[in-house]
Structure 1
């Protein structure tokens, strides 16, 4: 039998199969590429947002003897070449060439006090390999060769150096001034120039913040701050810098090319960093005591944990999408096989071998699915992203499953020539083996969900990849729910049939009876609709839960619609100017300070604010504030757990104040998340010094910054946007939305195909009933009653499955990384998506019923009934 002729005869069924295969292969091959591209973008953004000091590989060496000193710039280049030679391959391809990006080398002293300052001022010396192209000399000149000078009858090395203007002002140094540095081995530093960074925002300065900015340090147990500054010296000055005289460290920066990094590199990079560190210790030519310092392993580990969660969600929803797509394709194959049934039966009756029939059916299916799969596979290359194994394997799986199902279905149906059956009259009783297997599947699914809920995961997804247990439990639950639905579906219908049998109208009895006696293959849509609805509801619930938690996290991070903080006092006229900003409804002034606890060096953060007024401007926000209460003596205060249990104690602020603990709060939204803190009433001080404003309303951050230049403005809307704009977060929510839409479309297609598959039997039954006087309106009601129970039952079970999955998978899917760090667990029931899906399926079923009766009405009885059917 010619396949092209069969294709023309059954063009409609072939076209449906082709369209479904094309869409399925496009989604299966395209979505993984898009999601992987988003994962890569998320990694690059995380690396770019982090300081270069954490991302780049920094090799450091401390020298304390002349034999280890590097006195020439060329020596640094030679050491760097040796280090690059031992880079493992995964790192080598991501490290930028020497002299590019943030790469450089240098030497710095540390902890070098200025003589005569009592250890309050420190002036360190630094040499940077590329300082000529990094700084601009704005006053004086660049440092030159070192010389000698005499101080306290000692001959000292005199270094010429340049400093940043801020450091010079803080230390009271002018051009031409000389300072003596050191504790035992003294040296003199003559400041000959002042410089500025050519590009202060360059990531390069993350490695050298001490060079362009003054560093303040308060030693433990001290109330006084130390001032640390760093001065640049010349190449000639490097020759006089020795680790014998002072604390000296050499360093080399190997910059990471962040734009070249991909999420697929992460598993290889972590062991590669350890291997690089090992090679440096044993390789020839390496300097002794070299230490690798980088925050890259921690960053990659954190990213890999977030990535693993995103991949888990992706695998769950994409796996559900693939299963549903395959199910709908199998329905289309079933439709095509039914249309070919008469021709194949005739072939079998005329002596055709079973192999010939199966080959003919499989060939026709292959004629439709192979070009469609190739087209979908080719179109997937229009999507951005790397080509993953799933891009190749997904379409191939679709083709193999479709062709194999067609061959198996036809072989089973025509194993006996002209074997006509009446599946609508009697249903075969399932065997004991089948019942046992189904009970086992249900039991394993429930046990898996219980174990996942109680013990969580046993594998580390960051090092061992996805836990198969987590990926199999949802599939088992969906299969168990489908089996239970298929087995229990007829029993409530039979009860309804008994009730309808006592009614006078015959249509309810006939419609429900046909629904209860549905042929076995007509239950296949249940196995498609149920996971489609379940995964759609799951995606909707998870997306809604993430969105709600993101909103809560944004409120907790800011503590109000907006907050304004300033280093200086905010006068009354400034506060009034804020009240006049459009959108501002209320302003609560506050004082933020660091206070002394008791008479010890212990310190705590303090916020003086009217908590009642603050709570009043929060409106319908999801956060609540602690209450201060009243104290019999002293000032009532809410303290952190680290300060709890002390009762009444003193704090040193503008004056000595006695406070009494009246409440304990682990956090204070917008201000404190950990550590030691105290919240007291606003007017406890001698004179309130307002440096913080808590603003209510809808004013924009730009308007508040315009009214208060030089202050730090934070808004809840901006915090929420930062959380939602994270590439991984956007990828998860976008994928959930796309999958929900795709599954909804497949569910509707499954309903339509199911109606078409049963159209012939239904038309035959209606034709019989029309000879007995069945009207068109009664035919429509009968058809609706036949198809609606399956839709309603499946919709309810799918809804229940979708609501159960988030709770069942809760311990295994940690979505806190996408919700501002807060755990996502309390999923609220959102009936919008489930109701829309159920309504859409019901509408399609009803329209299909009406369309079917309309088509059947135009057929003559002679086109449906055979001779002798009415005898």
Structure 2
């Protein structure tokens, strides 16, 4: 072997071993656990913002889709130009509009709709046409170039040709022709103000491929005849429909409709909308409606009177308000998870630093500088944390795709930085020279936290939630966390006292296990100064945020049910068709349906004439059984009254009546005349005042409630009810099936044909369960609920991890104690009891304290919470404390943590004791 080889080996022998590689090989399990912790926390930090973004986008798009294609379209229209409009000019204008609008927004794949229409339908004087009452039917005319792609001709031919003085060739929907009694070859005559009647000849019949297709939105009555009502009183029904004309008749639409217009509807794709760009999208839409873009489009199409309208700007404004209203409530859960994650990082760093305290002090004693030691620790962390963080961030981006990445990336970077710096910062504190007056600094810090908590809660209660349009309210999000932090600091002070009292009580009982465990818990055995606050804080944050969120969701559920009951008039309601009644077979069978608690049938009419003394022309009258109706009003919470007020009407005496407050003042105590259902006139007298009726939740007219028995004796017609209400858990499908089986279809209107009979409305069935489900179908609410559940699960898991880290931190000292006690005769079961007596008090105290803090947070912050965006309907602002949802969350988390403590004690306790007995006590 050469001299050079010997020299190389000597140099390698003298060269120090690589620090990072050596340390990582020395403790591979700790490295893997640290990487797993960093991976999990970074994954949460990156995933939560992306989940929020996805939920906001899906809620916005569903909200716009539910509004319908008419509300999510740009509708351009211009007055018809006599002699200038043609199919080619309409197509050219459409191409111009598509190019301009399509460059700014994504158009819906369903495609645009364009054409021309007569603005006013004409009444038809043909005597053979159907008239439900005395009003003749009406016909409107449309020219739709693309209609052939959406209908098929079933008889005759498409309209074409025609002379200037002859009938206008039109095609009608086959369903409309059957309803009206028209056929191919019929000449429909419309009187004209100039004396010469206008005529339209039916040359073809068509049938729409899908009448519910978006194409037909806003095209009134082109696929069937519609039953309409006149505006005069009493209202009369009549049929109205529309027909299609050929390209040669575009110029004649002006004669038929007095006025005509060309129109272009451009539907925008809701899937192209993003929640984070609502403000910019709304401003751009406004430019197309009334701004510079609208003027440019009018010039580009050559139609100076072009007008563009859309409901989208208002829809986007409401969507933005909904998003901002829900933002504080959806952010409380993730904020709690972030707080617990920070605690876990601190605990993990403290555990690692304490485990390596001897090594770090030895390096310092051998001349290592603090900066050098901390740099090496930072290098260890970089090798462990950075790959795990990068993998977690990539996984979050892959699993939760969304176009926005800034918030997720910032969250991942912040968490990665905290994971990197936690151990070096803890080591720096450990290597620092001890300072005096630590208790004074702790007191000052605790007072600062208390002052910040009081200020935050006071400010939220004073000003309420941030006004709409200002986004996330940081105070409403931070206040529950500050309350949990204050509670943790307070419990850290009180827990030794409380557990000490229990220890003294246990000391007076036989057996030393309970006393010893509680005494060690009171002293905080195995913990460094100040560290008992961290596991307490983790548990309190988890319980407080979970309890606050559970209270919000519970209040949302109850508010939905309350709103649904008010809208339905109970838990179930059935209304007979117009001028119809409900048979006795139905009311008797419905009262026996499973889940029905109370049921009542009543008669009601909204158009009852009042005497002149009432000061009102018309009133809503309700005739019902007093007892059943009073129970219904009590359950719904509207129109409560004492049923005794409507009892005791003697024969020949005026019928007692409950009236609304305005009528009570006008009528006074004197009897007043009433006429119901065309019967004879009778007298009624005011017996009390009610604030409304479940039968008419949105009624604005005066109200009169009469007892069924005395009223039916005077007017027998009111004994046949036209409405039925019930309370209880009534199944929607079962009730609808019963209505189909027992309530006969409505009688056909005079002169109506079979298609017309099918078009008449049948009984209306409503249930509060179905309406509550409809309120809760909003993706915005689903997203908030899912995010809350995920946040509770994440916070609970991290809180359990914090407790287990605390147990691991105290494990060596506890194992040494148990080893000594084992030599003194301690049995294994007693060792397990000792561990539980030492560790469970903190868990139970934290669960109880978190429950109280959650209730306090709801009581203090509840008045500032508005649940309208989560309920799906307008509800009064405010949130009331509810013990059950908070108790459920607290007990669930306490059980989870207790099970974890028990498992840790059972699995690791015996092994640690055996190790100590074999190796001896070197402490």
Tell whether the 8 Å contact from 2:658 to 2:686 is kept in structure 1 after alignment: yes
Q: Which residue in 1 is equivalent to 2:700?
A: 675
Tell whether the 8 Å contact from 2:140 to 2:257 is kept in structure 1 after alignment: no
Tell whether the 8 Å contact from 1:515 to 1:785 is kept in structure 2 after alignment: no
Q: Which residue in 1 is equivalent to 2:520?
A: 511
Match of 2:260 among 248, 252, 257: 248
Distance of 1:276 and 1:614 partners within structure 2: 54
1:753 Cα deviation (Å)?
Answer: 0.5
**Is residue 535 from structure 1 mapped to residue 541 from structure 2 by the alignment?**
no
Q: Which residue in 2 is equivalent to 1:854?
A: 910
Tell whether the 8 Å contact from 2:488 to 2:533 is kept in structure 1 after alignment: no
Q: Which residue in 1 is equivalent to 2:189?
A: 179
1:585-734 maps to which residues of 2 (within 5 A)?
588-598=600-610, 605-613=620-628, 626-627=640-641, 629-630=645-646, 634-638=654-658, 645-647=665-667, 648=672, 650=674, 653-655=677-679, 662=687, 665-666=690-691, 668-669=693-694, 671-676=696-701, 678=703, 679-682=705-708, 684=712, 685-687=715-717, 688-694=719-725, 700-709=731-740, 711-734=763-786
1:179 Cα deviation (Å)?
Answer: 1.5
Distance of 2:619 and 2:174 partners within structure 1: 33
Q: Output the TM-score relative to the length of structure 2.
A: 0.80
From the superposition, tell whether residues 255 and 792 of structure 1 become closer, same or farther in structure 2 (CA, over 3 Å).
same
Distance of 2:148 and 2:789 partners within structure 1: 52
From the superposition, tell whether residues 364 and 670 of structure 1 become closer, same or farther in structure 2 (CA, over 3 Å).
farther
From the superposition, tell whether residues 389 and 595 of structure 1 become closer, same or farther in structure 2 (CA, over 3 Å).
same
Match of 1:73 among 72, 87, 96: 87
Q: Which residue in 2 is equivalent to 1:324?
A: 340
Tell whether the 8 Å contact from 1:52 to 1:206 is kept in structure 2 after alignment: yes
Q: Which residue in 2 is equivalent to 1:4?
A: 21
Tell whether the 8 Å contact from 2:60 to 2:274 is kept in structure 1 after alignment: yes
Three-state SS of the structure 2 residue aligned to 1:209 is coil
Q: Which residue in 1 is equivalent to 2:892?
A: 836
Tell whether the 8 Å contact from 1:545 to 1:827 is kept in structure 2 after alignment: no
1:366-515 maps to which residues of 2 (within 5 A)?
366-386=382-402, 387-415=404-432, 429-431=438-440, 435-461=443-469, 464-490=470-496, 492=498, 507=516, 510-512=519-521, 514-515=523-524
Q: Over aligned residue pairs, what C-alpha RMSD do you find?
A: 4.0
**Is residue 825 from structure 1 mapped to residue 872 from structure 2 by the alignment?**
no
From the superposition, tell whether residues 255 and 795 of structure 1 become closer, same or farther in structure 2 (CA, over 3 Å).
same
Three-state SS of the structure 1 residue aligned to 2:346 is helix
Distance of 1:198 and 1:335 partners within structure 2: 71
Q: Which residue in 2 is equivalent to 1:216?
A: 228
Three-state SS of the structure 1 residue aligned to 2:115 is strand
Match of 1:802 among 851, 854, 857: 854
1:219 Cα deviation (Å)?
Answer: 2.7
Q: Which residue in 2 is equivalent to 1:361?
A: 377
1:587 Cα deviation (Å)?
Answer: 5.8
Q: Which residue in 1 is equivalent to 2:242?
A: 230
Tell whether the 8 Å contact from 1:578 to 1:707 is kept in structure 2 after alignment: yes
From the superposition, tell whether residues 58 and 811 of structure 1 become closer, same or farther in structure 2 (CA, over 3 Å).
farther
Distance of 1:569 and 1:713 partners within structure 2: 14
Distance of 1:498 and 1:581 partners within structure 2: 61
Match of 2:44 among 27, 30, 45: 27
Tell whether the 8 Å contact from 2:607 to 2:619 is kept in structure 1 after alignment: yes
1:257 Cα deviation (Å)?
Answer: 1.7
Mean CA deviation greater in 398-407 or 107-116: 107-116
Tell whether the 8 Å contact from 1:588 to 1:614 is kept in structure 2 after alignment: yes
Match of 2:320 among 285, 304, 308: 304
1:357 Cα deviation (Å)?
Answer: 1.5
**Is residue 737 from structure 1 mapped to residue 789 from structure 2 by the alignment?**
yes
1:136 Cα deviation (Å)?
Answer: 4.1
Distance of 1:634 and 1:351 partners within structure 2: 107
Q: Which residue in 2 is equivalent to 1:142?
A: 158
Consecutive unaligned residues in structure 1, runs of 5 or more = 150-156, 422-426
From the superposition, tell whether residues 268 and 612 of structure 1 become closer, same or farther in structure 2 (CA, over 3 Å).
farther
Q: Which residue in 1 is equivalent to 2:750?
A: none
Three-state SS of the structure 2 residue aligned to 1:792 is helix
Tell whether the 8 Å contact from 1:219 to 1:225 is kept in structure 2 after alignment: no
Three-state SS of the structure 2 residue aligned to 1:161 is strand
1:62 Cα deviation (Å)?
Answer: 4.1
Tell whether the 8 Å contact from 1:280 to 1:290 is kept in structure 2 after alignment: no
Distance of 1:859 and 1:380 partners within structure 2: 42
1:495 Cα deviation (Å)?
Answer: 6.6
Three-state SS of the structure 1 residue aligned to 2:253 is coil
Mean CA deviation greater in 506-515 or 13-22: 506-515
Match of 1:557 among 559, 567, 591: 567
Distance of 2:325 and 2:102 partners within structure 1: 28
**Is residue 207 from structure 1 mapped to residue 185 from structure 2 by the alignment?**
no
1:266-285 maps to which residues of 2 (within 5 A)?
266-277=278-289, 278-283=291-296, 284-285=299-300
Mean CA deviation greater in 849-858 or 575-584: 575-584
Match of 1:191 among 188, 201, 207: 201
Distance of 2:111 and 2:662 partners within structure 1: 44
Aligned residues: 841
Distance of 1:298 and 1:670 partners within structure 2: 32
From the superposition, tell whether residues 108 and 39 of structure 1 become closer, same or farther in structure 2 (CA, over 3 Å).
farther
Distance of 1:349 and 1:321 partners within structure 2: 40
1:245-291, Cα deviation, whole Å (9 max, x unpaired): 81323321011223433434433322121111213442123523433
From the superposition, tell whether residues 132 and 747 of structure 1 become closer, same or farther in structure 2 (CA, over 3 Å).
same
1:768 Cα deviation (Å)?
Answer: 7.0
Tell whether the 8 Å contact from 2:576 to 2:764 is kept in structure 1 after alignment: yes
Q: Which residue in 2 is equivalent to 1:424?
A: none
Tell whether the 8 Å contact from 1:180 to 1:187 is kept in structure 2 after alignment: yes
Distance of 1:180 and 1:805 partners within structure 2: 70
Mean CA deviation greater in 337-346 or 490-499: 490-499
Q: Output the TM-score relative to the length of structure 1.
A: 0.85
From the superposition, tell whether residues 699 and 829 of structure 1 become closer, same or farther in structure 2 (CA, over 3 Å).
closer
1:521-553, Cα deviation, whole Å (9 max, x unpaired): 343222322212211222222222222333333
